[in-house]
Structure 1
Amino acid sequence: MTPDERRIQPRKQPRQVRAELTRQRILTAAAHVFGAHGYAAGTTNRIAERAGVSIGSLYQYFPNKDAILAELLTRHLDDGAAAAAKIRDGELPGPIEDILRLLVRSAIDSHLDDPQLLRMLNEQAPRPAELLENVERLKRYWYGYLQEILDGHPEVRLADTATAARLIFTTIELVVHQLAAEHEPVDSRRLENEMVAMLTRYVRG
């Protein structure tokens, strides 16, 4: 483990319910503080005050605000993985347009809860090697799953489904991340409709 990776490792992994609730309260408070004040002004003192804990208690769980921010990014990735599993375990709709809408809506729903925090995570969150590996693992999962959908759907008219799967995933992720994190609110329904229309035209050839 590198010095930078040790710097953002949580100090304490709670084993009791009360301790886990405290840890989650700190993370929830940090999400609010970072979103409202930005990273530079989002101090551990502000986070502790928002969470209703002493600064000493906060430091029992996290050594610094970098570690808190990294944990928020990890939680965001975990939510994305859970959403992916839910889609794959469920029954997909028949038309390719409806499948693409399901994928786009899932991405939008997971990114519009707190656009200010999302912008913070995109721009300033520490990214240790383990976290980057999790990102790559999730991407490979989606690439394979999307290619399966494209290969097996009668409406799809694409010669290179492997590249198409990567293009679709990357387009959804980048566009939703970018627009959800902008200062001006995005109309999620319009964003969904336009992305679905664009991707549907693409896969139908």
Structure 2
Amino acid sequence: MEAATTTRIATVAGVSVGTLYQYFSHRDAILDALQEREFSRALEMMGGVLSHDNLTLAPRETVTAVVRGLAKLYSESPALHRVLTVEGLRVMKSDQVEAFDIRVIAIIRHFLNASRTAIRRPNVEAAAFVIFQAVRAVMLGQLLERPVGLDAETLTNEVVDLIMRYLVEDAVIEPAPVAAAKVTRKAAKKTAKKKPS
């Protein structure tokens, strides 16, 4: 956490340490304010994407927009989000985190109830909670661990597929290597047919 010293924060903000302390009494107050800002940004994005204006969109389109929106928030300030993940939850009061969680789950629940899409889950309250916690765990895991081969687009596709299968889709989607092999075989057959005999 040495990267989040008050001096470093002041330098990045382009102000003196003294100016920073005029507004914040200590480093934890800065982290608290940053966490609140990020909570507000996430709530605004979620509320916008899951608004009544988007109820007519296809479920996959809506889910993709939410996951892309979250990925964008993380990618705009990955170092900040790493610090907030590691240090922010230590600093934040648990009631602030719980209030954020409750608001996001309420947005998801409201959208699921208002959507005309039939979902497979009998308990919408539980489904909203599971979706929120699953997405948060995957997004934060990717942010902290930065696994090889998991770029933003792959992460988005995997999380969207997870949510869609949980909520809506029954169809089994082939794993990527199997699907890719079939596409390759089809392309090879087309190429073979085009060659003159």
TM-score, scaled to structure 1:
0.69
Q: 1:199 aligns with which of 163, 166, 176?
A: 163
Partners of 2:99 and 2:56 in 1: CA distance? 29
**Post-superposition offset of 1:41:** 4.4
Contact 2:32–2:92, Cα closer than 8 Å, also in 1: yes
1:113 corresponds to 2:76: yes
Correspondence for 1:127: 92
Larger radius of gyration: 2
Partners of 1:162 and 1:58 in 2: CA distance? 42
Correspondence for 1:176: 139
Identity, in percent, stands at 27
Partners of 2:68 and 2:117 in 1: CA distance? 20
Matches within 5 A, 1:1-205: 39-87=1-49, 88-125=51-88, 126-129=91-94, 131-149=96-114, 152-154=116-118, 156-184=119-147, 186-203=150-167, 204-205=169-170
Instruction: Report which stretch shifted further, 175-184 or 80-89.
Output: 175-184
Deviations 1:143-174 (A, max 9, x none): 42243156x314x3333333222211221122
Partners of 1:133 and 1:159 in 2: CA distance? 24
Residue-pair matches, total: 165
Quote the RMSD (CA, aligned, Å): 2.4
Unaligned residue ranges in structure 2 (runs of 5+): 171-197
Residue 55 of structure 1 aligns with an amino acid whose one-letter code is V
Residue 110 of structure 1 aligns with an amino acid whose one-letter code is L
Deviations 1:117-140 (A, max 9, x none): 211101111112552353233234
Partners of 1:141 and 1:159 in 2: CA distance? 17
Residue 92 of structure 2 aligns with an amino acid whose one-letter code is R
Correspondence for 2:185: none
**Post-superposition offset of 1:184:** 4.8
Gap change, CA 1:80 and 1:172, over 3 Å in 2: same
TM-score, scaled to structure 2:
0.71
Gap change, CA 1:130 and 1:162, over 3 Å in 2: closer
